Amino acid sequence: MNVPFLDLKTINARHAAELKAAAARVIDSGWYVLGEEVKAFESEFGAWVGSPHCVGTSDGLSALILALRGWKELGLLKDGDAVAVPANTYIASILAITENRLRPVLVEPDEDTCNLGAAKLAAALTPDVKAVLAVHLYGQLADMQAISKLCRERGLLLLEDAAQSHGAQIDGVKAGAWGDAAAFSFYPGKNLGALGDAGALTCKDAKLAAIVRALRNYGSHEKYKNLVQGPNDRLDELQAALLRVKLKYIDADNARRREIAARYLREIKHPYVHLPSVRTGQDSHVWHLFVVRVPDRAAFQQRLLDRGVHTAIHYPIAPHHQQAYAQLLGHLKLPLTEALHREVVSLPVSPVMTDEQVACVIAASLSAP
């Protein structure tokens, strides 16, 4: 049996007729950038998240960058301010901070969830820290009850990186509705994936939404009038129309991911395979990735591959060990983050996996010596 890590072709083939009709609608409309499809997607996605404002962007990184940039334009952050962020995140979270001439303060995650936790965050809060970037890594909400309480008490801005966690929720409050603002990615492999690059910002403050709406479009708030100097980070009509189709199926897709993860958690019982833990109820996780820790990763991956099971690593190199951050962060010693980057392996989990494929992943994982 062959179990691909991610099969985008099969994922989108389920909706081929609807996706093609949506694409045809855009092609025939003669309007391709910032039009009715983007407006409709923003309102549908914002309502689904439970956030009052939603602004489409070209990708997830630009949504992160523009959220922080918007706060700078509003006078809430300034050059050199520090932003606390989990050290084991995907590098895009940190790029958004440095791109804005802000300073990343890397915080070790909690060992059980691999997410930012309130205790280590509180210990890292110096007076320079003005904002927190909480990442819901692998699809599980960070401890947002405690983190948002801490941010309120200390007067800190709270940004969520929700690129991996569309639909994760605690007490009915979804990723993207906890913080002052949140950034989503709709990169094709995410739980809600476009057929190209796309992203969105959700936020509570109408002023932030307005400035980000201008920023994504050269800083223009009215045609031919530029409020601020902005990039071109627009979401296009075609991706918005395709995302409106995919949005109808995200809840069912997440439910299937949870079913697969529940089987892995029940059936992969092996002394060398350290399973992920779910902190608060099964709704808090949407299993963008099912990440296990193993002592000998290369051998484990090879054993699975011999049985047709393809795995991936999220991520092999910690951000502070990247060449790009050698000068700024290279001196840091972050033992837990470094151990995670040595030991993590992602097992396949996707809404189109068959029960036979799931069983195959389980059997292969149990074949460890």
State the minimum distance, in angstroms, from the CB of residue 344 to ligand PLP: 14
Kindly tell me which of 54 and 273 has the beta carbon lying closer to ligand PLP.
Answer: 54
The interface mask with ligand PLP, positions 317-346, x = CB under 6 A, is ------------------------------
String of DSSP letters for 156-197: -EEEEE-TT-TT-EETTEETTSSSSEEEEE--TTSSS--SS-
For residue 127, the Cα-to-chain-centroid distance in whole angstroms is 28
From 150, 128, 158, 91, select the one nearest 337 (Cα to Cα). Answer: 91
Among 42, 59, 81, 108, binds ligand PLP (CB under 6 A): 59
The interface mask with ligand PLP, positions 183-212, x = CB under 6 A, is --x-x---------x-x-------------
State the minimum distance, in angstroms, from the CB of residue 293 to ligand PLP: 19
From 160, 158, 139, select the one nearest 148 (Cα to Cα). Answer: 158
State the minimum distance, in angstroms, from the CB of residue 61 to ligand PLP: 4
State the minimum distance, in angstroms, from the CB of residue 62 to ligand PLP: 7
State the minimum distance, in angstroms, from the CB of residue 75 to ligand PLP: 26
List C-alpha distances in Å: 63 to 43, 162, 219, 316, 319: 16, 10, 14, 25, 20
C-alpha–C-alpha distance, residues 12 and 14, integer Å: 5
Element (H, E) at 335: helix 335-343
For residue 38, the Cα-to-chain-centroid distance in whole angstroms is 20
Task: Give every CB contact of residue 83 below 8 A, 6+ residues apart in sequence.
Answer: 68, 97, 102, 103, 104, 105, 129, 130, 131, 132, 133, 159
Query: Cis bond leading into 32, ω under 30°?
Result: no
Among 60, 104, 176, 351, binds ligand PLP (CB under 6 A): 60
**324 half-sphere exposure, CB direction, 13 A CA radius:** 9
Q: Is 164 one of the binding residues for ligand PLP (CB under 6 A)? A: yes
Among 81, 161, 236, 253, binds ligand PLP (CB under 6 A): 161
The interface mask with ligand PLP, positions 91-130, x = CB under 6 A, is -xx-------------------------------------
Region 74-93 residues binding ligand PLP, contact defined as CB under 6 A: 89-90, 92-93
Nearest-CB residue to ligand PLP? 60
Kindly tell me which of 116 and 273 has the beta carbon lying closer to ligand PLP.
Answer: 116
State the minimum distance, in angstroms, from the CB of residue 80 to ligand PLP: 23
User: Dihedral through CA 304, CA 310, CA 311, CA 317, nearest 10?
Assistant: 110
Report the interface residues with ligand PLP, using CB under 6 A.
59-61, 89-90, 92-93, 135, 161, 163-164, 185, 187, 197, 199
